[in-house]
Amino acid sequence: MTIAVTGATGFVGQALLDRALETGLTVKALTRRDQLPRDGVEWVSGDLESAEALRALMRGAEAVIHVAGVVNDAARFESGNVLGTLNVIEAAKAEGVQRFIHVSSLSAREPDLSAYGVSKARAEKLIMASGLEWTIVRPPGIYGPRDVDYFEMFRLARWGVMPVPPKEGRASIIHVDDLARLLLALVPGGEGVSFQTFEPDDGRKQGWSHYEFARAIGWAIGRRPWVMHLSRASLERAARADRFVRRGNARLTPDRVGYMAHPDWVVTHEARPPRSLWQPLVPTREGLKATAEWYRKERWL
């Protein structure tokens, strides 16, 4: 079986590619840069704005997993997350690819909180109206090897001080490999899977408080950091400071503050994937520890 993948060179995409090849699938993967040859992978040069490249990506595939998206650059949310998704849909329809799996975000559940959430919610509406056999996956926070977002928390834990969102907030989490397994499990589609929106997680009921998760990261690197809850106003000041220091590479953006300050990012119990199809396998504490070891091995920490 051949699947088409967008975003294959990113954090989630690389984990998906590894898992797909382990299961014997052939992958056609979109890339903006030259890649080293890899058995089982056909690299297709182009991006989400190129209709020709997207048509080539879809040609001969039996399903598409749309992972690519813009996370930090608010100026590109519309072009990357909305118009980019529309372009992928049109290419899939033009090449007769009916099965469409889309990686969205829990932020689409509360689009009023951020421009990012608005863009992901709009992309979901396009998919639902596409006429394709779709499944939407809204992951919570995703961690694991290669991740640059939660890496910030690991680095702060090593320094001994971890600023986190307001005390009342809770959030779900998922390891990138568990997410990759789910995306592949959804490929066949069928009753109870197609035309559904799923919210997967690590299986922890009621998710994690910000304090609990920060302490778990500290445990993973062998530290006991001071966990400091920040108000929304403090997060906004921190975002301005991050922008001043790191410019376009800032990880804490003003748009992110909108949903970081929201108290409930726990997945909806009824929206979890069917247990007969998929269950998380990576215990979060062990996953965090293995992730910390990866960061050390790669000299990130």
- Residue 248: pLDDT above 70? no
> Under a CB-based contact definition with an 8 Å cutoff, are residues 25 and 184 in contact?
yes
Place 257 in a pLDDT band, splitting at 50, 70 and 90: confident
- Residue 250: pLDDT above 70? no
Q: Catalytic site residues?
A: 116
- Residue 220: pLDDT above 70? yes
Structure tokens at 244: 């001043």
Q: What is the mean pLDDT of residues 215-223?
A: 97
Domains of the chain and any CATH numbers: 2-143+176-201+268-280 (3.40.50.720)
- Residue 72: pLDDT above 90? no
Q: Beta-carbon neighbour count of residue 218 at 10 Å?
A: 23
pLDDT score of 166: 87
Q: Beta-carbon neighbour count of residue 230 at 10 Å?
A: 19
* pTM summary value: 0.94
pLDDT digit string, tens, across residues 51-67: 999 999 999 999 999 99
- Residue 280: pLDDT above 90? yes
